[in-house]
Each structure stands twice: as C-alpha cells, then as structure tokens.
Structure 1
Amino acid sequence: MSNATDTAPPRRPGVRFLLAHPAHFLALGFGSGLSPTAPGTVGTLWGWLAFLVLPLWLTPLGLGLLIALALPVGWWACTVTARHMGVADPGAIVWDEIIAIWIVLWLAMPMGFWGQLVAFALFRYFDAAKPGPVAWADQLFKGFGWRGGFGILFDDLVAAFCTLLVIALWRHFIG
C-alpha cells in the first residue's frame, strides 16, 4: 500500500504536495505558502484577508473559538507537514503566520486599514528579524515531532505578543 510519504518529499512543495494530505493543505496556508517569494509575508497577507472575511460568518466569540481550535490543529498540521517535507521548519509552512496575525487582529481590533497595516508590518518585522524574545523562542523547540511542530508555531506566537505589546504601548502613550 502506497501513500504520499513513501517517496522522497520535495524540498520546495508544489500543488501536488499541497493536496496530498489535509495537514499539508492547512500548514501551507491553503496554498499561500507555495509562493516562490516571501511565503511568510504572503501567508500573513492571506491570514489578514481571511480574518477580514471571517466576521461575515462568525461573532467575535466565534473567532476566538476558531483561533483556539486552530492552534492545536495547526500544531498537528505543522508537525506532519514538516516531517513529510523532511525539513524541521520549512519556509513554506505558513500556518504559524496565519494564526499569529489572527491573534493580533482579534485582540487589537477595531482599527482601520492603516492600523491593520501597521499591525501587519510590526508582526512581519518581529517574525522576520527575530529580535530578542522571538529569537529565543525560535531556538527553544527545534527538530521533528511534536516538539518541533510546536516550535514552528511558538516563535510566531511570541512575535504576535511583541506586536500586541507595541500596539498597547502606542495606544497608552500616544492614542
């Protein structure tokens, strides 16, 4: 009996890999992680746009419950996809960016387009540059398996926290 993991997985996944397993589809951000350029930024952008559409069907409580469910399901999806790709923290996995920007927007809303753009830019800065606590979080859980899958998510959750901290300080001292 053959399955998607019997053959050597591609280093750069394509549509075939994306559709080979439900975990791949989720972890690769419904295809946004397939971007050949800046998949983390594309995944974050996809997450932002999805977040703006979700309130058409979900209340703020429903969004919170979706986020709460998306964390353990995303942990599973990231763990499985990284193992199938044979890379501990592949750039094509963008579920971590999606869930993190959802958390930022859910906790920081309401705000207009410019506020959301600043939140997006701050999150991308913290996620990409990995200053201080984000670098610490990025190194804390490495490898394959459940620990590594959590590590994929954890540094982005810390980047989301840093983003929210800057927004809170801005609102307190400036706003």
Structure 2
Amino acid sequence: MPTSAVKPEAKKILTHPIHCLAFGFGSGLAPKAPGTFGTLMAIPLYWLLSPLPLLVYALVVLAAFVIGIYLCGKTAEDLGVHDHPGIVWDEFVGLWIALFAAPAGWLWLLIGFALFRLFDIWKPWPIKIFDEKMETGLGIMIDDVLAGIYALIILQGLVYLVGPDLL
C-alpha cells in the first residue's frame, strides 16, 4: 500500500518507533481480529528465536516482556485508550511463552498458536481479572503472559503424552 494511501492515524503509528512496535510492526492495524494478526506477525520472530538455547530464549522473552510494559503503556497513554485493540506486542510475548521449548514442526506451532489464541480470547480465571483491573502497561501485558503460560502448560502436556515426534 503506498504511503499516501495509509490513514493519517496509521501513518502516525507506523512512523513512531514505540507505537510501531506496540502495534506489532503494523499488524495491529488490521481492521478485524488485530490480536490474531499480531500473533501471526510474531511467528517469523519466533522462528528466529527458536534455535536459541532455552536460557537465552527465556531471557529474550523476559526482555521483550519488560520492554513491552513500557511500549504498551506509552502507546495506550498517547492514544488515550487503555489496551487499544491494535496494541499487539503483548500477543508477541504471549505466543513466545506458549511456544517455549516446543518441538520443531508446523503442527506444534499451529497447536501452540491455537491454544494461545483460545486462552487470550477466553480469558479464564485469573486472566480476566488482570485484564479488567490493571490499567497500566503491565496490565496490558500480563493477561497475554498468563494466556501464554496456560497454553505452554497444555502444549507441554501434549508433548509429554504423545511425544514430540508423534504428531
């Protein structure tokens, strides 16, 4: 899409480094299901992270979480909307948590993606409480971190039950 065809709000988001990251390099600008598009945009970065040793992977995800608290909080403040649907950096981190130590392969990636989206949308206890009560950058991030942890537990349970190569 030519720059002149981009809406002024979108252009402002895409040209501001903090907002661009918070909006998942523009994936959060999707008119429908921005969280899903943000999660999809996290996959190429996951492919870059996945070969790392687990400790390094965990430290990168931890850093992305800490940075995300600032990115999401600042963007929400600047936009005047707490947890704007287009803020999807939290989806990036949540997916990376869900896929921690996941076996290689498209099927495991798809299962991790589906589980993360399920828990992010469903928001079972206590995710819903954090989502509703915390109006900060941490509040924006924490519900997706918890959804990622729930997905991680289920995914690793499946790996344990069926084996990494069975699927």
- Please state which band the TM-score falls in when normalised by the shorter chain: 0.7 to 0.9
* Partner Cα distance (1:152, 1:137) in 2: 9
CA positional deviation for 1:174: 4.2
Specify the alignment match of 1:5 in structure 2.
Answer: none
CA contact (8 A) 2:69 2:138 kept: yes
Q: Give the 3-state SS of the residue equivalent to 1:108 in structure 2.
A: coil
**Does 2:88 align with 1:91?**
no
CA positional deviation for 1:163: 0.5
Q: How does 1:7-156 map to 2 (within 5 A)?
A: 13-19=9-15, 21-54=16-49, 59-105=53-99, 107-142=100-135, 148-156=136-144
CA contact (8 A) 1:15 1:31 kept: no
Aligned-residue Cα RMSD (Å) equals 2.1
Specify the alignment match of 2:153 in structure 1.
Answer: 165
Identity level (%):
40
Q: Which amino acid aligns with 1:171?
A: V
Q: Which runs of 5+ in 1 are unaligned?
A: 1-9, 143-147
CA contact (8 A) 2:34 2:86 kept: yes
- Measured at CA, do residues 152 and 40 of structure 1 come closer, stay the same or move farther in structure 2, by a change above 3 Å? same
Structure-1-length-normalised TM-score: 0.80
Q: Which runs of 5+ in 2 are unaligned?
A: 1-6
* Partner Cα distance (1:130, 1:13) in 2: 29
CA positional deviation for 1:61: 4.1
